Structure 1
Amino acid sequence: MPRPSARLLALALLFSMAPARAQQNGFDLAGPGLSIAVRRGPAQLPLAAVPSLHGGDRLIVRADMPADNAGRYLVIVAFLRGATAPPPKDWFFHAEPWRNKKNVLDIAVPEGAEQAVLLLAPDAGGGFDAVREAVRGRPGIFVRAAQDLYQASLDRARLDTFVNGIARISDTEPERLATVAPVLAQSLRIKLNGECLLRQRALQAACLTQNRDSLLLQAQRGATFAETLTGTPVDLAYRVAATREGGAGYYSPYIGLARDLARLFGAFRSAQYQYVPALALADGGRVRLQLNTAPSFQNPRSVLVAPLPPIGTAVPPAWQPAAAKPVCLGRNDAVMPLDDASLLFSTDYAHDLTLRVTSADATVTDLPVVRDVERGGIRLAMDGAPAIPGRVTGAVLRGRWGFDPFVGPRLPVQFDAQPRWTPQPNDAVVVGRDSSLVLRGGAPACVTHIALRTRDGTERTLAWKAISAEAIETTLPLARVSPGPLELIVGHHGVPRPTTITLTGRVEASRLDGFTIHAGDRTGLLTGSRLDQVTSLDFGGRRFAAGAVTRGDDGDRLEMTADAAPGASSGAGEAKVRMRDGRVATVAATLTPHRPRLTVIGRSVEYAPPAGSLPIVLPDGLAPAGATLTFSLRVEGGVAPDDQVEIAAVDGDGAARLTVASGRLQRVGADIAVASIAPAALLGPAATGALRIRLWRGGTASDWQPLTRVVRLPSLRGIDCAGTQECTLSGRDLFVIAAIGDTADLARAVTLPAGFVGTSITLPAPTDRTIFLRLHDAPDTTVRVDLPAKG
């Protein structure tokens, strides 16, 4: 019963390709192997190195099959025009591998052909004619199959490269798997399951490569490889990959390939022949076919359908450097990472790769490079530093893409065989303080270390950073270094000897910019540089002694203080400055008008303690946190509309300004002003502790004046003196108390430990109905707590 048998076989084929089965895209059955070469002019390459065919190319096809193979295949090469144009009959060629004189095809690609497909048909008499008529009758199906299978073959090559790489590393260096696997996945556009790297080392490789079909992501920035190779949009409906179920284009079309082709081939399957898709995978100089279903040599016999490269102009690769920072060519482990370069790592299309390096003197050097998939880029095909004269100024990746040469991309690399660093602005550095130094003229990416060597032979390693493509910056620790010669040692990758840069350490001469003092003040300000060499200054009949030096971006500032203020109210002139080495210099001096002055003349505090708490009596000058402070000021010369009163914490960064215009400062008479503030609301957390106040007028500030001290208070609920010797004081926020006792001098005080967070304190029974506290916020002041009368 041959007909029912054929139907059952067809159903079995369809079910074997159903998308619900795990093996739908396995393509793990080894099929026949072939040796295929392409000749273009005088050059010949294996098919694995040819991304696309041209009209006129010669294909040399030889099937690698045993001569006595009982299941003999015809090798058929068909060239196609397009989906709607049947190809001519003379575009079909076949070989008979079991016949010595007919076992090799040496054919030319016809002009006008757009696609090529390889078919292996069982030798059953008339097989060539039957296949030719089937292809000519439904050319669109074979155009679609050839394109889909070629795309899938490239996708499978990525998958095999990833799986083989994982296996190789797992077998030889399993400890590297966790670091190499993410790079492999990124280079080949493979979906990486990061959870696998958290498993035991022996289980990682198997986990990373399970469910292989779902590992393949789309590559080439979302375009298909076929589009990338030919530069022409391929008129294919990759329907599965474009659906939500297929990942909406996120996954490779490889995912739904078998299901789609089973539907296409099933449309014209006959009782004599069925068509089985095959992937064409490069294996050195050979091409091996991979099947996802076992072929049949009984009716319906299986015709294997495998792809050949697309026909058209090969578009050069559009790779880009994957790292912005330059790579030093002198490093033994130097790798230049590339972005979106899956075809580089998974095919042999790119070959004869070189890095064309241009030196500063315009010398061009070609350095051979090889691909390194485990590190996601290319590296020099040599050990040690390259023989490049001078400093590298540019580098371009070059090579051949199939038969055609290609140029690009430019890669950020650096190297300098003879580093010549020049200190900026010169080789003189200032000792006595740390100084930054810029070195220009070398290759920053190749610097391995920098050290400073002083006259006594001591070396100190320095930190450094690249500030441009040819400059680095470091900080010289010269605070305790004496004047004299210094050496900077700079090591480089690929250069056997470090570069020695001679520096001269000098004491910076003092620069005097000016001296300013307000009339009535005893302290003025001298500006310039290296003012630590200044000992005194004479101006206005007064001698000013040097105080503390502060340094900023614009130079040094030195406070100079006299025993009395200069007599004049304003003016300009010169001041004499004396140095530590005995020199005397002059500097322009300015006596500016009096600074504004203010005086705090009154304070009052409004505070509502928590209900039920014991009253705490604060001395004058203390204000509880959360209180409202009202104060009055007298301003010498009267309160001006643009005056600003600044309030700040002595020990904190909080500060605020009150103005008449804002309404927060109110004038009462000509020279009196009143303000009410809630320190906690005005200054935030900085409101605790001493507050001070000063007046700003026209960019000039008065001296600071004390305003008040803000203290945090505990909430004391009561005291229990059940015994005659001790009492228990209870409440909240007791941690603000430093000590507690029954006398004002705290002679018998109980000191609370640091970090105390309890809610009660045991203390000696007070002799009177009063206890005294010392608060952390006011360590020099004692506050009183009045106890309730005995019931």
Structure 2
Amino acid sequence: MSLRLCRWLAALAVLSITSAQAATPAPFDLKGPTLEVTVSRDKTTLPIAQVPHLAEGDKLWIKADFPASQSEHYLLVLNFLRGPTNPPPKDWFFKCETWKKACAEKGMTVTVPEGAQQALIFLAPEDGGDFKTLVNAVRGRPGAFVRSTQDLNQATLDRSRLERYLASIRDLNAANPAVLKDTTPLLARSLGIKVDEKCLDRLPQLQAPCLMQGQETLILNDGHSMSIVEALTTGPASDLVMAASSTPQANYGYYSPYLSSLLDLGRLFDSFRVANYQYIPALATALKNKLTLTLNTPPSFQNPKSVLVAALPAVEQALPPPLHAVSPKDIYCARKDSLVLPVEGAPLVFATEYAHNTVLRVAGKNGEVIELPATADATQGGFLIDTSSLGTASLADRFRGSLHGYWGFDKFDGPGFQLVNTHSQAWAPASQDDGSLIVGRANTIHLQTGSVACIDRIMVKDPTGKELRVDWSPVKANEVEINLPLQQAQPGALTLFVSQFGSSEPHPVELRAYPEAGRFESFTMHEGESHGVLKGSRLADVASLSVKSVEFVPAAAISNPESDQLRMEVKPPETTDASNTPAPSLQQGDTAKAKVTLHDGRSYNVNVAVAAPRPRVELVGKSVQIASGGNSSNIQLASENQLPQDAQLIFSVRAKSPAIFSREANIEVASSDEALSTTLSFANRTLTLADSKVAVATFDPTKAFGFSAFGPLKYRVVNKGVAGDWQPLVTLVRLPVLKDLECPADPAQSCKLTGANLFLVDSVASNAEFKEPVAVPVGFPGRALPVPRPSKSGLYLKLRDDPSVVNLAALVVDEPPPPAPADATPAPVPTQEPVTASTPPAPISNP
């Protein structure tokens, strides 16, 4: 193999790898020529921007808008297709020589032929055989060009949504970046755009750049535009939409096939290349009667010359926009100056001019039909209704309105909405709020009436006549929540004034404020816990607290009535099954309201603050490291939950909340009564990270607690000063030292166990089931202990520090030689009380 061939193959391999990694096609950012296009049907003529579909018999007028300085001559060709397997006849190709006066000034008018399904526009550089070559290319591969119309239409429709989204973000950011957080979700819902919600948590100045990242994957699947594209073809080519939307780039159907369509366009048009011509796609952006072509490849005027290809709307039946109300049950005020009716389901209504002459149609009392201009506004998430013409209209108190308009040449009917007119109605506080107004703090009440949709503003006058503006928000169709700033108000009568749109006089509502009987500042709890802390004054008067249907009661009698904190716990169920105790469904950041009820029956509202979950870990594993010198106690501990006092415990924990350990985290180990405690931390080298989620702790009980510590130990994690719940760890046990076990030859006699610190033994038995145990007296001072004769498996005992576990004494029975003949003198019987299960043995003195 020659050196030149080797180099060529190496270069080819590098090129293949580079091509495989380039998953994103070149962007369509080159501005191309502009065409003027109108469509006439019957006696109506529409600009191309308002035409989503063509129909047989439509008259198309097309004119190329080239500058006077245009030096390269372009041949304008309009071609109709009739499916992937049926080549179009030659008389379905219409040409216009744009460099000649007739075409340059008048363009060309073409009637959509019967049987046509798709339409393509070609702009080809002038060449002797340009028209014939183009006709033969299309007739030779009709399916490929049908598929190109599908890709071009899908990409154009999706790109229109993306461009409208990006332009709106830029405009909003330039005008007032602070509104992006509230406006972007409405914009995304209207246009079917996926928004990274983390962007909205950034500073306002940084939100816009973040919201415009990853443009190719912002567009979500839109069933309406997909339906339009799917109708373009039949047979195998109709599978393109599903194939495109199932690519990894398109998130397997969740995102639109925009990116995949661009990839297919590049591969498809590359296959059209011949010696004289190469075909490059152009996306046609419609604005009124202008079609602006956008390219992703610079055109070439040398062989192979570039032929620009753009798609016109498909020839098919109209598919009206599937608009529906966001909240069909909501009620809207017809007297608002800027009435917005939220709709969704048809992003093309907001991204294109296909929907036009849209109105909200309502009926007056006398049957008069009133049409109010409606404008689709993606930034407000619906249609903006001009209600100025309702100033003198006679309307019912409640009525319905519906959207109507044109989708291209065809009428369409949109969703209906419930509307109310401003009218006189009674206003009254909810019964649970009566008598709950307390001066000296902010108060929240609920005002009820027939409908709150037309409220314009609410203000209050205190007994001194001082006017206070209040914050309010509707919570139901007939109820509004009002926050009254009564921190500086005086006790006595209060008057609320409720103003409505279209009404000149506010409606007064009489209330009364009482002197402060108790102040309740806040109720704070951690996410996932069933208790919290109520802060305020005179907390001894509190009987209960309820939040989201869960009732809390004081944890215990208040020892200090002047305390400013009260622990509240979820009221246990009436059944004895504690597992049925309800858990509040509150998460960090929730801003709920709690109702505090006093013993005298009065109730007050208090803000609920839900803090982050307290740190939590789970035990992964643990091991006991015996001190050097081995197990001198001769006791085999039967449970891994027992920790000898002179041993080390090494245990590992996995972070659960938060998910990783911070450098400020440490672990506290304490006795059950917390009289003894120690801290294991990274600083004192008793805590080591195995990885970001698992930490290994080393605990030395003797160094931490001394020699008199014993009993259950617990641990908890502490992170940044916030402590988690205690969890059981091990039981610390002090071990007696067992030295010898001597048993006489007579099986009826008990054995003798010798050792040190035998007072640490709770009881002894001869079997693992611990039947008929022998209890050791508390504080037993002896060094020898009478014990039952062990079974074949050994002698068993329980430790005083953990009597719940049966352990094995690792001693070999020292039996005396067989007894002497019958004339031998028997051994004296020890003078001690018989050993029974209920009577502890008397101590045996050391031999």
Q: Report the TM-score, using the length of structure 1 for normalisation.
A: 0.55
Partner amino acid, structure 2, of 1:82: G
Q: Which residue of 2 aligns with 1:150?
A: 153
Q: Which runs of 5+ in 1 are unaligned?
A: 1-10, 504-650, 659-679, 684-712, 718-729, 733-787
Matched, 1:339 2:344: yes
Q: Kindly state the Cα deviation for residue 472 of structure 1 after the two structures are TM-superposed.
A: 8.2
Q: Kindly state the Cα deviation for residue 297 of structure 1 after the two structures are TM-superposed.
A: 1.1
CA distance in 2, matches of 1:199, 1:458: 40
CA distance in 2, matches of 1:344, 1:232: 30
Aligned counterparts, 1:142-291, within 5 A: 142-220=145-223, 223-227=226-230, 235-238=238-241, 239-291=243-295
Q: Kindly state the Cα deviation for residue 120 of structure 1 after the two structures are TM-superposed.
A: 1.0
Report the RMSD for the aligned CA atoms in angstroms.
5.2
CA distance in 1, matches of 2:54, 2:27: 28
Change over 3 Å in CA distance of 1:715–1:37 after alignment to 2: closer
Change over 3 Å in CA distance of 1:657–1:45 after alignment to 2: closer
CA distance in 2, matches of 1:141, 1:229: 13
CA distance in 2, matches of 1:652, 1:165: 48
Change over 3 Å in CA distance of 1:472–1:181 after alignment to 2: closer
Aligned counterparts, 1:347-426, within 5 A: 347-359=352-364, 362-381=367-386, 387-390=392-395, 391-412=397-418, 414-417=419-422, 419-421=423-425
Q: Kindly state the Cα deviation for residue 137 of structure 1 after the two structures are TM-superposed.
A: 1.2
**CA displacement, residues 311-361 of structure 1 (integer Å, 9 cap, x when unaligned):** 111121111111342232333443211112311111000111111123455
Conserved 8 A contact 2:341-2:385? no
Q: Which residue of 2 aligns with 1:134?
A: 137
CA distance in 1, matches of 2:246, 2:459: 59
Q: Kindly state the Cα deviation for residue 110 of structure 1 after the two structures are TM-superposed.
A: 0.8
Q: Which residue of 1 aligns with 2:313?
A: 309
Change over 3 Å in CA distance of 1:129–1:29 after alignment to 2: same
Q: Which residue of 2 aligns with 1:327?
A: 332
Change over 3 Å in CA distance of 1:141–1:415 after alignment to 2: same
Change over 3 Å in CA distance of 1:489–1:310 after alignment to 2: same
Partner amino acid, structure 1, of 2:176: E
CA distance in 2, matches of 1:232, 1:470: 55
Q: Which residue of 2 aligns with 1:668?
A: none
Q: Kindly state the Cα deviation for residue 404 of structure 1 after the two structures are TM-superposed.
A: 1.3
Conserved 8 A contact 2:406-2:412? yes
Conserved 8 A contact 1:219-1:225? no
Aligned counterparts, 1:390-469, within 5 A: 390=395, 391-412=397-418, 414-417=419-422, 419-421=423-425, 443-448=451-456
Q: Kindly state the Cα deviation for residue 81 of structure 1 after the two structures are TM-superposed.
A: 0.7
CA distance in 2, matches of 1:388, 1:241: 50
Conserved 8 A contact 2:272-2:279? no
Conserved 8 A contact 1:52-1:230? no
Partner amino acid, structure 2, of 1:40: R
Q: Kindly state the Cα deviation for residue 48 of structure 1 after the two structures are TM-superposed.
A: 0.7
Q: Kindly state the Cα deviation for residue 373 of structure 1 after the two structures are TM-superposed.
A: 1.3
Report the 3-state secondary structure (helix = DSSP H, G, I; strand = E; otherwise coil) of the residue aligned with 1:101: helix
Change over 3 Å in CA distance of 1:20–1:26 after alignment to 2: farther
Conserved 8 A contact 1:39-1:58? yes
Q: Kindly state the Cα deviation for residue 269 of structure 1 after the two structures are TM-superposed.
A: 2.2
Q: Which runs of 5+ in 2 are unaligned?
A: 1-11, 438-444, 485-490, 512-568, 582-671, 677-707, 711-778, 780-847
Matched, 1:495 2:495: no
CA distance in 1, matches of 2:240, 2:458: 60
Q: Kindly state the Cα deviation for residue 310 of structure 1 after the two structures are TM-superposed.
A: 0.9
Report the 3-state secondary structure (helix = DSSP H, G, I; strand = E; otherwise coil) of the residue aligned with 1:237: helix
Change over 3 Å in CA distance of 1:31–1:18 after alignment to 2: farther
User: Please, which moves more after superposition, 217-226 or 59-68?
Assistant: 217-226
Conserved 8 A contact 1:450-1:489? yes
Report the 3-state secondary structure (helix = DSSP H, G, I; strand = E; otherwise coil) of the residue aligned with 1:102: helix
Q: Which residue of 2 aligns with 1:747?
A: none
Report the 3-state secondary structure (helix = DSSP H, G, I; strand = E; otherwise coil) of the residue aligned with 2:34: strand
Conserved 8 A contact 2:231-2:316? no
Q: Which residue of 1 aligns with 2:38?
A: 37
CA distance in 2, matches of 1:286, 1:243: 33
Q: Kindly state the Cα deviation for residue 279 of structure 1 after the two structures are TM-superposed.
A: 0.6
CA distance in 1, matches of 2:427, 2:179: 42
Change over 3 Å in CA distance of 1:455–1:48 after alignment to 2: same
Partner amino acid, structure 1, of 2:45: Q
**CA displacement, residues 111-161 of structure 1 (integer Å, 9 cap, x when unaligned):** 211111111111112211211111111111111101110111011111111
Q: Kindly state the Cα deviation for residue 45 of structure 1 after the two structures are TM-superposed.
A: 1.0
CA distance in 2, matches of 1:499, 1:232: 67
CA distance in 2, matches of 1:656, 1:290: 72
- Segments ≥4 residues shifted beyond 6 Å: 14-17, 228-234, 431-440, 450-468, 470-476, 500-503, 651-658, 713-717
**CA displacement, residues 175-195 of structure 1 (integer Å, 9 cap, x when unaligned):** 323332333222212222334
CA distance in 2, matches of 1:112, 1:487: 73
Change over 3 Å in CA distance of 1:45–1:653 after alignment to 2: closer
Partner amino acid, structure 2, of 1:242: S
Q: Which residue of 1 aligns with 2:660?
A: none
Matched, 1:293 2:301: no
**CA displacement, residues 399-429 of structure 1 (integer Å, 9 cap, x when unaligned):** 11111111121124x3314x032589xx9x9
**CA displacement, residues 673-695 of structure 1 (integer Å, 9 cap, x when unaligned):** xxxxxxx99x9xxxxxxxxxxxx
Partner amino acid, structure 2, of 1:241: S
Q: Kindly state the Cα deviation for residue 449 of structure 1 after the two structures are TM-superposed.
A: 5.4
Partner amino acid, structure 1, of 2:280: V
Aligned counterparts, 1:312-711, within 5 A: 312-323=316-327, 324-359=329-364, 362-381=367-386, 387-390=392-395, 391-412=397-418, 414-417=419-422, 419-421=423-425, 443-448=451-456, 490-499=498-507
CA distance in 2, matches of 1:15, 1:58: 47
Partner amino acid, structure 2, of 1:304: L
Change over 3 Å in CA distance of 1:499–1:277 after alignment to 2: same
CA distance in 2, matches of 1:404, 1:144: 27
Conserved 8 A contact 1:67-1:97? no
**CA displacement, residues 163-186 of structure 1 (integer Å, 9 cap, x when unaligned):** 111222222222323332333222
Q: Kindly state the Cα deviation for residue 204 of structure 1 after the two structures are TM-superposed.
A: 3.4
Conserved 8 A contact 1:318-1:409? no
Report the 3-state secondary structure (helix = DSSP H, G, I; strand = E; otherwise coil) of the residue aligned with 2:220: coil
**CA displacement, residues 505-562 of structure 1 (integer Å, 9 cap, x when unaligned):** xxxxxxxxxxxxxxxxxxxxxxxxxxxxxxxxxxxxxxxxxxxxxxxxxxxxxxxxxx
**CA displacement, residues 634-667 of structure 1 (integer Å, 9 cap, x when unaligned):** xxxxxxxxxxxxxxxxx99779899xxxxxxxxx
Matched, 1:27 2:28: yes
Report the 3-state secondary structure (helix = DSSP H, G, I; strand = E; otherwise coil) of the residue aligned with 1:24: coil
Partner amino acid, structure 1, of 2:197: G
Q: Which residue of 2 aligns with 1:773?
A: none
CA distance in 2, matches of 1:653, 1:203: 46
